[in-house]
Amino acid sequence: MRVHAPANYLDYAGGLKTGVIELLDAVDENDHVIGCMSREDIHKFCLRHRAAHVLVFDSKQRLFLQKRSLIKECSPGLWDSSAAGHLSTGETYERCAHRELCEELGVPNDIPLTRLLDLQACADTGWEFVRVFRCEDEGPFTLDASEIDQGDWFPLPHIETWISARPQELTGTLRCVLPLIHAICK
């Protein structure tokens, strides 16, 4: 299946987006692009697609997490990675990570990112291939109120307890990522 954007779509951060339709790359089981579709259709048909997540640590090795806005379509009111988002069609994982950091937290686009891990697309990730990056920043952050209700710093041992005690407060992707990150950061 291959879908092409009409000529009147505007270029947006390496991908295509309008005020109404956000276009994403649909990918196969090996993360190879097989087409371009609206975000709505990709989610409606549970198609594999791509997302970048960024974990922001401070000098005390605390992790900044965001609580998603209650008006978000997916996982409203749940705690999530520091910044995260779908790759627009044609966008790289790293470019998306920088864009989301800037849009959601106000972090400059030139902050160094370290690639930590990749997750395979599955039901728990919402059929997203997820590339996780790490960066260091002390804040304070300028939170995008349309995306984030609040944010806070958490020590990794606190998060480990949180995952066991109240996993329903965290997004599915974050529940997949955090145990792996805890092992990497020990």
- The ranges assigned to domains in the chain are 51-185
Look at residue 38 and give its three-state secondary structure. Answer: strand
Q: What is the pLDDT of residue 71?
A: 86
Look at residue 49 and give its three-state secondary structure. Answer: strand
Complete DSSP assignment for 61-78? -EEEEEEEPTT-SSSTT-
Mean pLDDT, residues 130-137 taken together: 97
Mean of per-residue pLDDT scores for the chain: 88
159's enclosing H/E stretch is helix 156-165
Q: What is the pLDDT of residue 48?
A: 97
For the chain, percent of residues with pLDDT exceeding 90: 73
> Which class is domain 51-185?
alpha beta
Using 50, 70 and 90 to split pLDDT, how confident is the model at 181? Answer: confident
Contacts of 8 (CB under 8 A, 6+ apart): none
Q: What is the pLDDT of residue 39?
A: 93
Mean pLDDT, residues 1-9 taken together: 37
Mean pLDDT, residues 173-180 taken together: 89
| 1-8: Cβ within 8 A, 24+ apart | 1/26, 1/34, 1/35, 1/37, 2/34, 2/35, 2/36, 3/35, 3/36, 3/37, 4/36, 5/36, 5/89
Mean pLDDT, residues 42-64 taken together: 96
Look at residue 10 and give its three-state secondary structure. Answer: strand
Residue 5 has pLDDT above 50, yes or no: no
Q: What is the pLDDT of residue 81?
A: 95
Please count the other Cβ atoms lying within 10 Å of the Cβ belonging to residue 3: 12
Q: What is the pLDDT of residue 103?
A: 95
Between 172-185 and 156-165, two packed helices, what is the crossing angle to 10 degrees?
Answer: 140
Q: What is the pLDDT of residue 72?
A: 83
* 63-120 confidence digits (pLDDT tens): 999 999 888 878 889 999 999 999 999 999 999 999 999 999 999 989 999 999 999 9
